[in-house]
Amino acid sequence: KPHPYISFWKEFGNTLKWGIVEDHDNRDRLTKLMRFKTTRTETEDENDWVSLEKYVERMKDGQKAIYYLAGESIKQVRDSPFLEKLNEKGYEVILFTDAIDEYVMQHLKEHDGFKFMDISKENFKFAEDDQKDEKEKLDTLKKSFKPLTKFIKDHLKKGLARVQLSTRLASAPCAIVSSEWGYSARMETIMRAQALAQKTSFVEMPKVMEINPMHPVIRALGLLVKEDPDSEKAKETVELLYDTALVSSGFYISDNKGFQTRMQQVMRSALGVDPSEPLSSEPLFDDSEVEDDDEDEAKPEADSMEEEDSPFKMEEVDPAEMDKIKARMANKEDAVSEDGSDDAETTEEL
């Protein structure tokens, strides 16, 4: 059973959030009333919500910001590539799913001396010790990956501010992040929807592509670019990586046609189909190679089923008994025509 205050929060939480946006004088007091789902709470547990006070108590040593991530649903946010390494290192992240949350965070700058930090933004940093370890790893790799980052930036160009090595990715090959002052993926979705409703144009802000230098796909791509800086295969791979990174990072793919074409090329390659092979209306096999359908073979047997096996077989009637029944019916009809009465016994006999 939900705690009374949790029931209250579920019912009026968005109203309190709007108060944080509108009521500057009482913003700090209202902030203390907020409750959150985080990476450490149970999604299905109705009472497992966290206050900011509780979050700050559980922060890692050296952590200087309150981490959060926004998305359309708890599942989408939990599956985000931005969370993987933070989960591995034991950080707790607040999960936002309401549209109003993005507006709230524009007005909440800090709590109890800790700034709020969107982990999908370019300015994200781990706690000091973890950040130092990750940076040292990248420093040894930057030079060898410089040709690849330049190749990606030169090829994609539009909508990409820069390409850089990532400290935050674990199993994902790459991700798309917003600049510190740009729109997050969730906010961009909201702004795009508003622009569509108001029939106005929406201008996408330049994004940053982060690549994971430990990932085998990125490493293989780096070797391919080094061997052939003009490789068409490398260009196609970069475009597909960018498309999939947009999706996994929560952004909108504007070039749907190009994405569809690239995915079909991947499928052709996986199935060994020549990229130039046209459509065909020819049968897949020779008719002689196709076995008869089991249903066609079974149908004659059903038609020749023995009568005694049928559940709908009628019971046989003795001819002599049938003659007696007909005679009684004839007599009955004569009697009815004379006095208009009916005899239920004949019906029962039938």
Q: What percent of the chain has pLDDT over 90?
A: 60
CA distances from 93 to 50, 157, 246 (A): 11, 32, 21
Between 134-143, 151-160, 339-348, the lowest mean confidence (pLDDT) is in 339-348
d(CA 227, CA 232): 12
Average of per-residue pLDDT across 104-114:
93
Please, where in the chain does CATH 1.20.120.790 lie? 132-270
Between 95-109, 227-241, 298-312, the lowest mean confidence (pLDDT) is in 298-312
Decide if pLDDT at 162 tops 90.
yes
CATH number (3.40.50.11260, 3.40.50.300, 3.30.450.40, 3.20.20.70) of 4-119 reads 3.40.50.11260
- Residue 78 φ/ψ, nearest 5 degrees: -65, -30
Domain 132-270: CATH superfamily is: Heat shock protein 90, C-terminal domain (1.20.120.790)
Decide if pLDDT at 40 tops 50.
yes
pLDDT band at 349 (very low <50, low <70, confident <90, very high): very low
Please, where in the chain does CATH 3.40.50.11260 lie? 4-119
Residue 220: name the closest of 238, 205, 208, 197 by CA. Answer: 238
Contacts of 201 (CB under 8 A, 6+ apart): 195
pLDDT band at 259 (very low <50, low <70, confident <90, very high): confident
pLDDT band at 35 (very low <50, low <70, confident <90, very high): very high
d(CA 190, CA 183): 10
d(CA 86, CA 105): 21
DSSP assigned state of 309 = G
